[in-house]
Amino acid sequence: MMKKRILEGLLVAGMTVSMVACGSSDNTAKTSEDTKSAAETEQTTQKSSDKLTHVTIAENAFIGDAPLYVAIKKGFFEDYGIDIEMLEFDDQTNSYNAVASGNADIARGTLDAALVVADKYSDDMPQVVSVTDDSAGADGIVAVNGIDTVADLKGHTVAVEVNQVSHYLLEQAFAKNGLTDDDVKMVDMNASDAGKAFLAGEVDAAVTWEPYLSQASSSGEGSMIFSSKDAPGTILDVLMVSKESADSNASWIPGVISAIEKGREYLFDDATKDEAEQIVADQLGMSIDEVEGELATVKLYTPKEACEALSEGGLAYEGVSTICDFYTSIGSIEKEMSADEVLNTSFVSQINE
């Protein structure tokens, strides 16, 4: 992987996001013209008048953005009246801060980073409007031979980016195995450096991501003992907009979500899969085999699945409390926030109508 997620307003007064239905659309790869949503019709009409809305999206290269890359290359954003521009940030909190400060229209990164930023704008809280993907093995803990379980980490050196999403994943592993931070010797470094340090034999274990997870196993020097697949919802990637955009019911928001979904469909359609994977490979500087391997480590969400995840009982909704507990304990979030304050299903619901 070239780079990962280093980046990483209710519309009707009195309504909570959990009251908005997710709709009943199916998840087939082809969208019938007969079931075209109102949002899509509006955006297509906008395109026909050649009045594209310029939208900037803050992101950092990651396999979970595969549908975005396809949508840009194939012109799907124009189908919804949008002229999209990607902005790359070296830290995901900076990308979300760019949205909150008006320097970007929408940002994509992890849910935990979104909540950290939202906490700093409590009076004008940015809104999470969709879930794009869930790490399902793209992140994990590798350990040297002889450390076969998470419990075996006790007393050993672990490289992890402290107080960031890698640390949060480590906490989930510890919670499932009766350990705490005090049981290991933590070395603070980002996930890529952690992977490199492990391969160099400098630490006993590391919280890292691809390609270091695969390289650790293929080297014969160690193996993965825990991954994000073992803790669903721990590393969710989301789309966030400013509260002003959400409150004004900006028409480009469902358009962005719809264009990305069209890219996802193109990626999984047998007739277009090869072309789509080549687009992703070119964007990320990977081989087709690498793209296919990394796509297998993430779950790419449909708008319907995103709505379910954001609604009460969903992974994102339930995750807000868990994330706030962890980040409050380390001082990154000052106070607890409710899921209804920051999660907004209004736009994904429009697409599913």
Question: pLDDT tens-digit profile of 36-84?
Answer: 454 554 444 444 446 899 999 998 878 999 999 999 999 999 999 999 9
Supply φ then ψ for residue 81, to 5 degrees.
75, 25
pLDDT for the residue numbered 217: 86
Contacting residues for 287 by C-beta, under 8 A, at least 6 apart: 281
Supply the pLDDT for residue 50: 65
C-alpha distances (whole Å) from 201 to each of 111, 153, 197, 212, 323 are 32, 16, 6, 13, 32
pLDDT of residue 10: 28
pLDDT of residue 89: 81
Which domains, ranges and CATH numbers included, belong to the chain?
17-136+234-352 (3.40.190.10), 139-230 (3.40.190.10)
Residue ranges, the chain, pLDDT below 70: 1-21, 23-50, 352-353
First to last CA, the chain: 36
The pTM assigned to this predicted structure is: 0.83
CA distance linking residue 85 with residue 247, whole number of Å: 23
CB atoms < 10 A from the CB of 281, how many?
A: 18
